[in-house]
Amino acid sequence: MRHTKVKDLLNSTTTLQEINAKGWVRTFRNNQFIALNDGSTINNIQCVVDFENTPEEILKRITTSAAVSVTGDLVESKGAGQKYEIQVKKIEILGDSDAEKFPIQPKKHSLEFLRENAHLRVRTNAFGAIMRVRSVLSFAVHQYFQEKGFVYVNTPIITGTDAEGAGEMFKVTTLPAENAPKNEEGNVDFKQDFFGKETCLTVSGQLVAETYAMALGQVYTFGPTFRAENSNTSRHLAEFWMIEPEVAFNDLTDNMDLAEDFIKYVVKYAVDHCGDDLKFLEGRLTDEEKSKPQAERSEMPLLEKLGFVIENNFKRVSYTEAIDILRDSTPNKKKKFSYIINEWGADLQSEHERYLVEKHFKCPVILFDYPANIKAFYMRLNEDGKTVRAMDILFPGIGEIVGGSQREERFDVLVEKMKALGIDEEELWWYLDTRRFGSAVHSGFGLGFERLVLFVTGMTNIRDVIPFPRTPMNAEF
Ligand code: 4AD
Ligand code: MG
């Protein structure tokens, strides 16, 4: 007999005869009531066992976390809290479980403890909800770009280009760690390596995506990205997923418009399609906020915060204006920032970004026109000769969620910049070809998918929104 998903049973509009459901026991009360969950929804279905006619050996095996199959009728529930329940006629234990040894007990566990049990944490309400929201968001990403006629491009994960400077890279090699062959200079001889050259895991698909935008017009990537920075923060992963659209003929304003429209679309999509999960996560967040000091509490419940982002324009502010605001700010004057802002040209730290978003503007902010020397080589130089057409989108509670720019399309300017930064023109010969053969204004950005999931789920640690996080000193599972 084919089983029906719990979600479909709970959404049924009529009672039903002879249905089958399969799932995992969340709780078993009074030797009679099973709360059954199969992952299709955050909600459990109540299964009422006929304990008088069920053998004692079977009843004993209905334990938290056991996998079971129940057959019976979907009937109107007499209990509060659910419309329907299953009147069980037959129960089969598919997989026994020693409930006492099961790490996830029906009580509140710390997020740290759950991280150590990342293979089982998805059986909790919170992680089930987070992972369903993550899935819906990734579908929304594709739907947004596909509806707009963008072409999805799979850029390589193994790359021979180490020029973007977006972060430290992980080496990819088949050479032995000990006694690797050496060249005449005494360095590792990568000519003898698998690819005949030094290769790494990609830090971004942008440079290759640009070559595709120069033929297909509008493209996007959505794939894993790797950074070997030793930054053990609640916003950084060594392996994360990034979405990178790249669009021919778009200037920086078009780029900002696209990013803002895109973010609003996917957040709205999640709100429209993840009602039960977001309601649960809102409750979780509200509980968590209660344990914080008043000053650190978020003013809005989760769904209101998401609605706010969907409905309001992001504030667009130049780097220069932002520096003025920060220089005059109370935490700067009182030396509360770890990095005091004195001069134009300073790189912004996340404390500054969060001040702008959370305290000053109290809404998402797009900062643009950054000093050239704190941004990547490929960004379009402005007429002032000292700023570039960069933009970062800053979100409350998150900081930077998007980084992007209009690209330098002028061959000579780009080459000069590369020379100044010591970037090997020969290594990037193919990138420079886009500027040799039919170059055009174009722009793009990268959105860190986990930071988006953090924002939408109201979680605070990035390790809790990816199934198996990769961070310094941690690659378990
Ligand atoms: O600002 P980033 O480094 O920009 C780029 O890589 C450009 N090539 C993007 C482009 O223009 N196509 O990274 C983009 C975004 C950041 O804003 C952040 O959201 C996320 O990627 N990100 C990380 N997310 C998790 N862990 C990390 N270590 C991250 N580093 C960046
Ligand atoms: Mg950035």
Q: Is the CB of 401 under 6 A from ligand 1?
A: yes
Q: Quick check: 249 and 441 in contact, CB under 8 A? A: yes
Q: What CATH number does the domain located at 6-102 have?
A: 2.40.50.140
Each residue of 183-212: pLDDT tens digit? 999 999 999 999 999 999 999 999 999 999
- pLDDT more than 90, % of the chain: 91
User: Please, which residues have CB within 8 angstroms of residue 296's CB and are 6 or more apart in sequence?
Assistant: none
The closest residue, in CA terms, to atom 27 on ligand 1 is 236
Across the range 138-142, mean pLDDT stands at: 98
**pLDDT-based confidence at residue 166 (cuts at 50, 70, 90):** low
Instruction: Say how many Å lie between the CA of residue 437 and the centre of ligand 1.
Output: 28
Q: Read off the tokens for 387.
A: 């700023």
Instruction: Give the position, in ligand 1's atom list, of the atom nearest the Cα of 236.
Output: 26
Instruction: Say how many Å lie between the CA of residue 448 and the centre of ligand 2.
Output: 10
Instruction: Say how many Å lie between the CA of residue 400 and the centre of ligand 2.
Output: 7
CA angle 31, 36, 38 (to 5 degrees): 155
Q: Is the CB of 353 under 6 A from ligand 1?
A: no
User: Please, which residues have CB within 8 angstroms of residue 441's CB and are 6 or more apart in sequence?
Assistant: 248, 249, 250, 251, 406, 409
Each residue of 367-391: pLDDT tens digit? 999 999 999 999 999 999 999 999 9
Q: Is the CB of 240 under 6 A from ligand 1?
A: yes
35: helix, strand or coil: strand
Each residue of 86-96: pLDDT tens digit? 999 999 999 99
Q: Is the CB of 403 under 6 A from ligand 1?
A: yes
The closest residue, in CA terms, to atom 21 on ligand 1 is 448
CA angle 41, 34, 7 (to 5 degrees): 20
Across the range 69-84, mean pLDDT stands at: 92
pLDDT for 296 beyond 80: no
Residues with CB under 5 A from ligand 2 (ion): 403
Higher pLDDT, 292 or 36: 36
pLDDT for 258 beyond 70: yes
Q: Which residue has the tokens 């759950």?
A: 114
Mean pLDDT across the chain, nearest whole number? 95
Q: Report pLDDT for 163.
A: 66
Across the range 231-246, mean pLDDT stands at: 96
Q: Report pLDDT for 106.
A: 81
Q: Quick check: 319 and 347 in contact, CB under 8 A? A: no
Instruction: Say how many Å lie between the CA of residue 351 and the centre of ligand 2.
Output: 15
Residues found in the chain: 477
Q: Quick check: 252 and 368 in contact, CB under 8 A? A: yes
Q: Report pLDDT for 299.
A: 74
The ranges assigned to domains in the chain are: 6-102, 123-168+203-314+363-464
Q: Quick check: 309 and 267 in contact, CB under 8 A? A: yes
Q: Quick check: 393 and 314 in contact, CB under 8 A? A: yes
What global pTM score does this model have? Answer: 0.96
Across the range 124-144, mean pLDDT stands at: 98
Q: Read off the tokens for 385.
A: 């000769």
Q: Which residue has the tokens 């819906």?
A: 136
Q: Is the CB of 445 under 6 A from ligand 1?
A: yes
CATH class of the 123-168+203-314+363-464 domain in this structure:
alpha beta
Q: Which residue has the tokens 């050239």?
A: 372
Q: Report pLDDT for 229.
A: 87
Instruction: Say how many Å lie between the CA of residue 404 and the centre of ligand 2.
Output: 7
